[in-house]
């Protein structure tokens, strides 16, 4: 085969031959035969049949032969326990041999014979060897105790070997100390609660002394043991650190890593303001960097450990970014790890360099590496806010390369960027849409669909795009299907008019035709939500999502702490606690970092699940449709569907049809008032409301009633003083002065009619021209008695806002025609916008925040209110009286900022920021109406500001 | 600790299998072979978990080394490497033949006991193997403080050789901007000294010189700043007393006998590149490539670079190369996929150029040529010893050996050319610093 006859195959005939040779009288021949046996054994062949013959050769003076026989014994004793007893005598004898090498060899082999019967015979020789005069024998015996413990733990304890082993820690020979420590550590691992390694300052001192003198492997054992010690105070931990730091210059990287572990652990104890703490941080960096010039396998191990270290203490390597730049000839596993650390170290200071590098990597050959590089660019954007823009443009450049996997990866990360910076980079959506066809990986498709759904209102053909995905719905992976379902529901809630069919289609695909329970359940949830309480549906589906942060990919802090205690071991390579991969009781106890002087800076890792669609709904406030969807609600419920729990899907579908059929028509009708229809709906509760629906529906109704209940709101809304609207001169003696007020949720026009003419006036009637908010008299003008000359009468005319709408100039202008028996008179007056603010204009805080950010700055207008002597709280109260609700208040540099929301009767929301400076009578108001559809525009903002102004005064 | 040690040849045949612990079953040997060696794909991680057993593995010149464990162990790669070193020292090179059972069973028994690494000093292990009779001396040597040296060594001529091997790594952006440079150096010693010599080294490390400057020798101030180097980090052979280095910055040790690597160091600051290498790559159509490489020396007049060897990689589908060089000899080596250009010596401020026309076979392979980096090797005879400070007393000869420098320009060529494919490649500088370390040797 390879070398010589030693490797020849062992067949039956050969065993026979070997047997004969082993029993030969000639020493030379015997030796050759044993060599052949060992050779076969080493390559894994079974030569156990020769056991008695080989054991017979044991009694020899030839050291070489003895070694080989012992080797054979180690391998096969277990399979021939009865025969192994034959060897005991020789062992006992050899343990008293004058040659220390033979003594050591005997004791080493003894431990490896894993036969219970033998162990008892071995205790005596072992005890002797533990106290042997030769350190070589002692150190071998120390390991033998660990071996014996592995076979029979009870025996070791009963025989008192553990105490002897503990005594060896104080041995004069460093090598013995090291092996004793190693053996004790291992035994202690299987007895988590025993106090075997009783570490106290004296033993620690001994260990530290031995550390300087023993072999590199011994140093590792000692350092690992030191890491388990918890110093009493920061001074002790500093002195240990000082004695461990020289190990950082050791050529053996395992020694270096073990030293790093001790330092990282004891550093926790040091106060941060200590000079030594800073020195230590500086000392740690160079050795870690040096590890990167070792062999690639070691580099990999080092990088995995550095990954942990930079998460715990990023300051150590923050200036060493360049050493993690990928080299051409690095093996792929080193490249990937380097990339990971580059992102962890990325900061504002070095982001330009990092990005340039990442862009290079994205053009490499290895697909995995390229993907990770593209992902890294996205992570940079999320981590370093200032770089986000550059990252996005880099990603766009990469998309232009049209390399398929690069494009897909880029889209996935752009989705994450959108999650981090909503409403900032939507301009790139167009570019993304261009690559829609090339996406073939589920993750990229899901990401793209998410983007389309999330920004449906900005993408003109969102419905077409989503529809195109829908065609092959059943061939998609679950991830894509779920995302598609959510996206279409989002789209529907945003553009209900054009997408009914689509949503219907996807709901039925998801619920009826799918076998996937996740998909079906999500489909049903949406369906029920939409059919029972569309307002809630909107709140759920389009709810504000938590922003993702860079911490998402960090290791969870308690795990990180544990892993730091395992630096330099297998656990640090896997980034898993030992219990995850070690079977049995060994090493499962959890190590923790010592309580530290400054552990308050533990990193948080918020759990941001990104998979679920429900939590992913976007923050958006859609005005004006709340009550419309209320309409949908009763329309949906009116037909007495007979769905019972659990609802069969056909019934469900029917409900949804109703929802889509009837509800939307009225929605389209542009019925902005809503309340009459609503009332009607409530008046006719469904006869056979399915039980399963009862709860949500009544909940919804309650909400709506609450809304209605708001009508009985506190008084005190602002009402301007009466002004003369129609002077007597112009109206043949009829003078009308009046004002507007909102009382108990009803807008009223309060007028004083004065007859300044000579004749009696009768038959009063009033009419409004079309106006901006559809104001119209809710009833006839109630002037019952004729108005005699010089008589005045107070009239209150309730108004509603369901009249025809036309934009007026200025916005709050109202043209009125009053008729009496004499003539028809026309005048125009201006009503305060504040009376149009409805009682439910209090926006959810979250929604407010998101919306405020959403509104483009162009919509904002600013205004100063002069000479207002209210403090912010009083102002807030006063404004609340006029249905201007304070959502939040914060104080910045002595200024009180009031954030307010109001809702107009036509459903338009207006958000305002009111800055009140203590002692300064001038307020600054900036208002932002959402969605300046209709007629609210720039100049209307002015009038809104005016309103606030007037209300406050 | 390590549960088992397996060594395979490149075909996956077992050369050695040693099981130290019961938790590693015999089937682990096959599990590794099937999953790693026969997987026939790039190794994605040197630590692999197969069926609850973790394998640390490395491949060294056709030999697979694998350590198996089921526990949370310290890193064993160092022990694997050490084993290779020992083998290499014992047999001259690592190959299949090294792993004959006789010697290595003894070896592995001494290196690892119950999975604990025990001894990896080449010298001591050699004694273990070669000793025929019984010498009790060895036991005290391997357990003693100076495990790397035996007593009673005698030489008629006491000699000490010192090689400084440096490799300069240069990373350059496609725009020709130097991203990072670093020099990693190794000091390799061959000592043939009698007895138990105590050796002491000093180096012109910045920290040391500054310390001395403070010590009252202010007149040296200007000079020392010029000659001192800021060493970022250094690591030492086991024999060096680390605590002494930590406190006094002096390297003191009792050397092992024979060849060993005394220290490694790394510097990043003030690196003057002694060569500029400017490659120009032009793709002429799909089947032709023109490469031009200019090297310029850029060092002091007192120095002479020797045995310069430039390694210019060529695409895999090269069918023929035509070479013209101004100086030296150049040859295309198909086996290495590279043009090797050798120049005997170059003086300061000299320039030389090679141009090559590479014919390519048309391929369907769409993967573009990744353009590996150029590399360059040369030696500089560089002797600068402060004679006055040498106070060697009882040794006759101290030979100073050459400083041989090795250059590696990492990734820059690939980047440079990759960025603009059809135009010329961008200039790449790859060179080496020649005078980083000045050693003061005092053998006591």
CATH number of B362's domain: 2.60.40.1170
Residues of chain B neighbouring A293 (CB-CB closer than 8 A)? 184, 264, 266
Among A327-336, B13-22, B105-114, B130-139, name the most confident range.
A327-336
Which one has a higher pLDDT value, A87 or B401? A87
Q: For residue A708, what pLDDT band results from cuts at 50, 70 and 90?
A: very low
Residue B215 lies in a domain: no
Chain B closest-CA separation from residue A298 CA (Å):
7
Last residue of a domain, one of B133, B165, B200: B133
Residue B121 lies in a domain: yes
Q: What is the mean pLDDT of residues A355-383?
A: 88
| Of the candidate ranges A205-219, A292-306, A647-661, B297-311, the one whose mean pLDDT is the lowest | A647-661
| Of the candidate ranges A291-295, A458-462, A494-498, B383-387, the one whose mean pLDDT is the lowest | B383-387
Q: What is the mean pLDDT of residues A132-151?
A: 87
Residue B144 lies in a domain: no
What is the rounded CA–CA span in Å between residue A828 and residue A811?
12
The encoded tokens of residue A224 equal 């690992």
Percent of chain A with pLDDT strictly greater than 70: 77
First and final C-alpha spacing in chain A: 105
Interface check for A101 against chain B (CB to CB < 8 A): the answer is yes
Total domains present in chain B: 2
Chain A closest-CA separation from residue B121 CA (Å):
9
Q: What is the mean pLDDT of residues B293-311?
A: 79
- Yes or no, beta carbons of B174 and A364 under 8 Å apart: no
Q: What is the pLDDT of residue B224?
A: 39
Residues of chain A neighbouring B143 (CB-CB closer than 8 A)? 134-136, 139, 173, 175-176
Q: What is the pLDDT of residue A335?
A: 92
Q: What is the pLDDT of residue A933?
A: 37
Residue B37 lies in a domain: yes
| Of the candidate ranges A485-494, A888-897, B71-80, the one whose mean pLDDT is the lowest | A888-897
Interface probe with A: pick from B139, B187, B247, B406, most Cβ of A within 10 Å: B139
| Residue B373 β-bridge partners | none
Which DSSP category does A425 fall into? S
| pLDDT, tens digit (0-9, with 9 covering 90-100), for B212-260 | 554 433 333 334 344 566 778 888 888 888 888 888 777 888 888 888 8
Residue A717 in this model has a pLDDT that exceeds 50: yes
What is the rounded CA–CA span in Å between residue A949 and residue B146?
91
CB–CB of A869/A921 below 8 Å? yes
Residue B336 lies in a domain: yes
Q: For residue A739, what pLDDT band results from cuts at 50, 70 and 90?
A: confident
Interface check for A866 against chain B (CB to CB < 8 A): the answer is no
CB–CB of A380/A354 below 8 Å? yes
What chain B residue is nearest to A288 in terms of C-alpha separation? B233
Last residue of a domain, one of B85, B101, B133: B133
Which one has a higher pLDDT value, A511 or A698? A511
Interface probe with B: pick from A251, A280, A366, A576, most Cβ of B within 10 Å: A251
Q: For residue A337, what pLDDT band results from cuts at 50, 70 and 90?
A: very high
| pLDDT, tens digit (0-9, with 9 covering 90-100), for A516-526 | 888 999 999 89
Residue A587 in this model has a pLDDT that exceeds 60: no
Which one has a higher pLDDT value, A826 or B395? A826
Q: What is the pLDDT of residue A49?
A: 81
Q: What is the pLDDT of residue A590?
A: 65
A contact residues 798-837, partner B, Cβ 8 Å cutoff: none
B329 is in an annotated binding site: yes
DSSP per position, B69-115: ESS-PBP-HHHHHHHHHHHHHHHSS-SGGGG-HHHHHHHHHHHEETT
| pLDDT, tens digit (0-9, with 9 covering 90-100), for B203-223 | 666 665 555 554 433 333 334
Residue A260 in this model has a pLDDT that exceeds 90: yes
Percent of chain A with pLDDT strictly greater than 90: 8
CA A519 to the chain's CA centroid: 23
Chain A closest-CA separation from residue B319 CA (Å):
23
Q: What is the mean pLDDT of residues B330-334?
A: 89
Residue B348 lies in a domain: yes
Q: What is the pLDDT of residue A172?
A: 85
| pLDDT, tens digit (0-9, with 9 covering 90-100), for B69-114 | 887 777 678 888 887 777 777 776 666 665 555 555 555 556 777 7
Q: What is the mean pLDDT of residues A352-376?
A: 88
Quote the radius of gyration of chain B (alpha carbons, Å). Answer: 26
Q: What is the pLDDT of residue A328?
A: 79
What chain B residue is nearest to A71 in terms of C-alpha separation? B105
Residue A9 in this model has a pLDDT that exceeds 90: no
The encoded tokens of residue B241 equal 């007393």
Q: What is the pLDDT of residue A904?
A: 75
Which one has a higher pLDDT value, A239 or A193? A239
Q: What is the mean pLDDT of residues A763-781?
A: 80
Q: For residue B396, what pLDDT band results from cuts at 50, 70 and 90?
A: very low
Residues of chain B neighbouring A361 (CB-CB closer than 8 A)? none
Q: In sequence order, what are the residues at sequence separation of 6 or more whose Cβ sits closer than 8 angstroms to the Cβ of residue A786?
A: A760, A761, A762
Among A612-616, A640-644, A921-925, B168-172, name the most confident range.
B168-172
What CATH code is carried by the domain that includes residue B81?
A: 3.30.450.60
Q: What is the pLDDT of residue B107?
A: 57
Q: For residue B140, what pLDDT band results from cuts at 50, 70 and 90?
A: low
Chain A closest-CA separation from residue B143 CA (Å):
6
Among A326-340, A673-687, A894-908, name the most confident range.
A326-340
- Yes or no, beta carbons of A574 and B47 under 8 Å apart: yes
Residues of chain A neighbouring B171 (CB-CB closer than 8 A)? 322, 325, 327
Interface check for A65 against chain B (CB to CB < 8 A): the answer is no
Which one has a higher pLDDT value, B299 or A609? B299
Range of the domain at B309: 275-382
Which one has a higher pLDDT value, A250 or A194? A250
| Of the candidate ranges A421-425, A532-536, B156-160, B388-392, the one whose mean pLDDT is the lowest | B388-392
Closest C-alpha among B307, B279, B291, B290 to residue B373: B279
Residues of chain A neighbouring B25 (CB-CB closer than 8 A)? none
Closest C-alpha among A183, A254, A197, A190 to residue A223: A254
| Of the candidate ranges A767-771, A822-826, B164-168, the one whose mean pLDDT is the lowest | B164-168
Q: Using CB atoms, pick whichever of B23, B54, B174 lies closest to residue A570.
A: B54
Chain B closest-CA separation from residue A286 CA (Å):
5
Chain B closest-CA separation from residue A539 CA (Å):
46
Interface check for A239 against chain B (CB to CB < 8 A): the answer is no
- Yes or no, beta carbons of A356 and B171 under 8 Å apart: no
Q: Using CB atoms, pick whichever of B70, B142, B410 lies closest to residue A136.
A: B142
Residue B438 lies in a domain: no
Chain A closest-CA separation from residue B137 CA (Å):
10
Residue B399 in this model has a pLDDT that exceeds 90: no
The mean of the pLDDT values for chain A is 75
DSSP per position, A618-652: -----TT-HHHHHHHHHHHHSS-----SSPPHHHH
Interface check for A191 against chain B (CB to CB < 8 A): the answer is no
Q: What is the mean pLDDT of residues A94-103?
A: 84
Residue A735 in this model has a pLDDT that exceeds 60: yes
Which one has a higher pLDDT value, A637 or A228? A228
What is the rounded CA–CA span in Å between residue B104 and residue B107?
4
Exposure string over A326-337, b if 16+ CB within 10 A, otherwise e: bebebbebbbbb
- Yes or no, beta carbons of A101 and B173 under 8 Å apart: no
Residues of chain A neighbouring B102 (CB-CB closer than 8 A)? 6, 35, 38-39
Q: Using CB atoms, pick whichever of B139, B232, B241 lies closest to residue A136.
A: B139
Last residue of a domain, one of B80, B112, B133: B133
Q: What is the pLDDT of residue A307?
A: 93
Q: Using CB atoms, pick whichever of A108, A175, A582 lies closest to residue B72.
A: A582
B367 is in an annotated binding site: no
| pLDDT, tens digit (0-9, with 9 covering 90-100), for A623-653 | 333 333 333 333 333 333 333 333 333 333 3
Residue B442 lies in a domain: no
What is the rounded CA–CA span in Å between residue B417 and residue B312?
13
Q: For residue A942, what pLDDT band results from cuts at 50, 70 and 90?
A: low
Residue A701 in this model has a pLDDT that exceeds 50: no
| pLDDT, tens digit (0-9, with 9 covering 90-100), for A548-584 | 776 667 888 888 988 998 888 888 889 988 888 877 6
Q: What is the ipTM of this complex?
A: 0.80
B288 is in an annotated binding site: no
Residues of chain B neighbouring A570 (CB-CB closer than 8 A)? 47, 54, 69, 71-73
CB–CB of A226/A237 below 8 Å? no
């Amino acid at each position: 085969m390879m070398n010589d006859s030693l490797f020849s195959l062992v067949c039956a005939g050969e065993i026979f031959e070997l047997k004969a040779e082993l029993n030969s009288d000639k020493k030379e021949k015997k030796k050759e035969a044993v060599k052949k046996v060992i050779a076969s054994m080493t390559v894994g062949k079974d030569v156990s049949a020769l056991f008695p013959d080989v054991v017979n050769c044991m009694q020899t003076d030839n050291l070489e032969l003895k070694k080989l026989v012992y080797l054979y014994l180690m391998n096969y004793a277990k399979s021939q326990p009865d025969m192994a007893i034959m060897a005991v005598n020789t062992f006992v004898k050899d343990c008293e041999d004058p040659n220390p090498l033979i003594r050591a060899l005997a004791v080493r082999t003894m431990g490896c014979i894993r036969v219970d019967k033998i162990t008892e015979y071995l205790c005596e020789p072992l005890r002797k060897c533990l106290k042997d005069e030769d350190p070589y024998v002692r150190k071998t015996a120390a390991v033998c105790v660990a071996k014996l413990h592995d076979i029979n733990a009870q025996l070791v304890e009963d025989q008192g070997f553990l105490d002897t082993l503990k005594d060896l820690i104080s041995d004069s020979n460093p090598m013995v100390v090291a092996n004793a420590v190693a053996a004790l550590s291992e035994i202690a691992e299987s007895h988590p609660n025993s106090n075997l390694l009783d570490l106290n300052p004296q033993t620690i001192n001994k260990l530290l002394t031995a550390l300087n003198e023993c072999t590199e492997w011994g140093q590792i054992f000692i350092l690992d043991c030191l890491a388990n010690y918890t110093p009493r105070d920061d001074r002790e931990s500093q002195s240990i650190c000082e004695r461990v730091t020289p190990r950082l210059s050791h050529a053996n990287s395992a020694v270096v890593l073990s030293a790093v572990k001790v330092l990282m652990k004891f550093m926790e104890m040091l106060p941060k303001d200590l000079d030594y703490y800073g020195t230590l941080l500086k000392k740690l960096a160079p050795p870690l960097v040096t590890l990167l010039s070792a062999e690639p396998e070691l580099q990999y191990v080092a990088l995995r450990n550095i990954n942990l270290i930079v998460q715990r203490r990023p300051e150590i390597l923050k200036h060493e970014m360049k050493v993690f730049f990928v080299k051409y000839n690095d093996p792929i596993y080193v490249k990937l790890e380097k990339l990971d650390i580059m992102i962890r170290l990325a900061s504002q200071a070095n982001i330009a360099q990092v990005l340039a590098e990442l862009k290079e990597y994205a053009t490499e050959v290895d697909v995995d590496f390229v993907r990770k590089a593209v992902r890294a660019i996205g992570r940079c954007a999320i981590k370093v806010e200032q770089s986000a823009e550059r990252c996005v443009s880099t990603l766009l450049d990469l998309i232009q390369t049209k390399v398929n996997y690069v494009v897909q990866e880029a889209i996935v990360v752009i989705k994450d960027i959108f999650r981090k910076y909503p409403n900032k980079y939507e301009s790139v959506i167009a570019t993304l849409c261009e690559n829609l066809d090339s996406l073939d990986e589920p993750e990229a498709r899901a990401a793209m669909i998410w983007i389309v759904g999330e920004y449906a209102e900005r993408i003109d053909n969102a419905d077409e795009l989503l529809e195109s995905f829908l065609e092959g719905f059943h061939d998609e992976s679950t991830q894509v299907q779920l995302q598609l379902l959510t996206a279409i529901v989002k789209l529907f809630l945003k553009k209900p008019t054009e997408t009914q069919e689509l949503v219907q289609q996807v709901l039925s695909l998801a619920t009826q035709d799918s076998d996937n329970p996740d998909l079906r359940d999500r489909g049903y949830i949406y369906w029920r939500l939409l059919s029972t309480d569309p307002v809630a549906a909107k709140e759920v589906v389009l709810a504000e999502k938590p922003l993702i942060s860079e911490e998402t990919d960090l290791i969870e802090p308690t795990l990180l702490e544990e892993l730091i205690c395992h630096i330099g071991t297998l656990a640090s390579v896997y980034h898993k606690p030992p219990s995850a991969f070690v079977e049995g009781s060994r090493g499962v106890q959890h190590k923790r970092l010592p309580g530290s002087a400054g552990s308050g800076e533990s990193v948080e890792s918020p759990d941001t699940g990104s998979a679920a669609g429900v939590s992913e709904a976007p923050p958006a406030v859609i005005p004006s449709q709340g009550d419309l969807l209320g309409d949908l609600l009763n329309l949906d419920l009116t037909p007495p569907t007979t769905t019972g729990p659990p609802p069969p899907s056909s019934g469900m579908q029917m409900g949804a049809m109703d929802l889509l059929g009837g509800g939307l028509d009225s929605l389209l009708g542009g019925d902005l008032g809503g309340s009459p229809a609503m009332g009607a709906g409530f008046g006719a509760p469904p006869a056979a409301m399915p039980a399963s629906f009862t709860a949500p529906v009544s909940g919804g109704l309650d909400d709506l009633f609450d809304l209605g209940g708001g009508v009985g709101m506190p008084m005190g809304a602002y009402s301007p003083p009466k002004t003369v609207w129609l002077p007597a001169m112009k109206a043949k003696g009829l003078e009308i002065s009046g004002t507007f007020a909102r009382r108990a949720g009803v807008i009223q026009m309060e007028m004083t009619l004065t007859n300044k003419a000579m004749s009696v006036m009768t038959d009063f009637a009033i009419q409004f021209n079309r106006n901006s908010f559809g104001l119209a008299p809710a009833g006839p003008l109630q002037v019952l008695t004729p108005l005699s000359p010089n008589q005045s009468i107070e009239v209150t005319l309730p108004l509603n806002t369901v009249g025809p709408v036309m934009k007026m100039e200025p916005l709050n202008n109202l043209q009125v025609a009053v008729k009496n028996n004499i003539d028809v008179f026309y005048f125009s007056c201006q009503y305060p916008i504040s009376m149009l603010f409805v009682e439910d204009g209090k926006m959810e805080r979250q929604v407010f925040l998101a919306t405020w950010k959403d509104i483009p700055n162009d919509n904002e207008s600013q205004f100063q209110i002069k000479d207002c002597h209210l403090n912010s709280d009083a102002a807030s109260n006063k404004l609340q009286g006029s249905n201007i609700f304070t959502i939040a208040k914060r104080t910045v540099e002595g200024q009180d900022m009031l954030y307010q929301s109001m809702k107009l009767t036509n459903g338009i929301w207006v958000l305002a920021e009111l800055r009140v400076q203590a002692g300064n009578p001038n307020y600054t108001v900036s208002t932002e109406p959402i969605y300046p559809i209709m007629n609210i525009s720039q100049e209307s903002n002015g009038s809104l500001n005016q309103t606030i102004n007037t209300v406050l005064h | 600790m390590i549960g088992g040690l397996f060594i395979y040849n490149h075909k996956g045949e077992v050369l050695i299998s040693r099981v130290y612990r019961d938790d590693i079953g015999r089937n682990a040997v096959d599990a590794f072979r099937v999953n790693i060696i026969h997987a026939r794909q790039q190794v994605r991680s040197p630590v692999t978990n197969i069926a609850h057993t973790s394998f640390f593995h490395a491949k060294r010149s056709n030999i697979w080394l694998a350590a198996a464990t089921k526990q949370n162990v310290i890193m064993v790669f160092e022990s694997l490497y050490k084993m290779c070193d020992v083998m290499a020292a014992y047999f001259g090179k690592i190959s299949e033949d090294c792993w004959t059972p006789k010697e290595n069973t003894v070896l592995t028994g001494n290196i690892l006991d119950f999975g604990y690494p025990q001894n990896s000093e080449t010298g001591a292990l050699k004694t273990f193997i070669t000793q025929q009779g019984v010498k009790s001396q060895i036991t005290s040597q391997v357990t003693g403080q100076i495990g790397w040296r035996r007593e009673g060594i005698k030489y008629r001529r006491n000699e000490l050789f010192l090689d400084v091997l440096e490799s300069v790594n240069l990373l350059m952006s496609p725009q020709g901007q130097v991203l990072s440079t670093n020099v990693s150096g190794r000091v390799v010693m061959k000592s043939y000294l009698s007895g138990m010599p105590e050796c002491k080294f000093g180096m012109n490390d910045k920290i040391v010189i500054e310390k001395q400057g403070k010590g009252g020798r202010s007149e040296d101030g200007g000079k020392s700043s010029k000659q001192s180097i800021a060493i970022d980090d250094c690591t030492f052979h086991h024999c060096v007393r680390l605590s002494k280095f930590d406190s006094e910055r002096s390297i003191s040790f009792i050397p092992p006998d024979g060849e060993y690597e005394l220290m490694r160091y790394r510097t990043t600051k003030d690196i003057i590149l002694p060569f500029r290498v400017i490659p120009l790559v032009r793709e002429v159509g799909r089947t032709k490539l023109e490469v031009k490489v200019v090297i310029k020396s850029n060092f002091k007049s007192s120095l002479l670079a020797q045995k310069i060897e430039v390694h210019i990689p060529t695409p895999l589908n090269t069918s023929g190369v035509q070479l013209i060089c101004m100086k030296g000899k150049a040859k295309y080596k198909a086996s290495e996929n590279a043009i090797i250009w050798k120049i005997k010596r170059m003086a300061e401020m000299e320039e030389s150029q090679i141009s090559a026309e590479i014919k390519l076979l048309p391929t369907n392979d769409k993967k573009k040529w990744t353009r590996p980096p150029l590399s360059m090797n040369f030696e500089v005879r560089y002797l600068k010893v402060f004679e006055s400070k040498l106070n060697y007393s009882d040794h006759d000869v101290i030979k100073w050996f050459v400083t041989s420098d090795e250059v590696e320009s990492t990734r820059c060529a690939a980047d440079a050319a990759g960025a603009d494919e059809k135009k010329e490649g961008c200039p790449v500088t790859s060179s080496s610093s020649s005078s980083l370390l000045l050693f003061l040797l005092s053998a006591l």
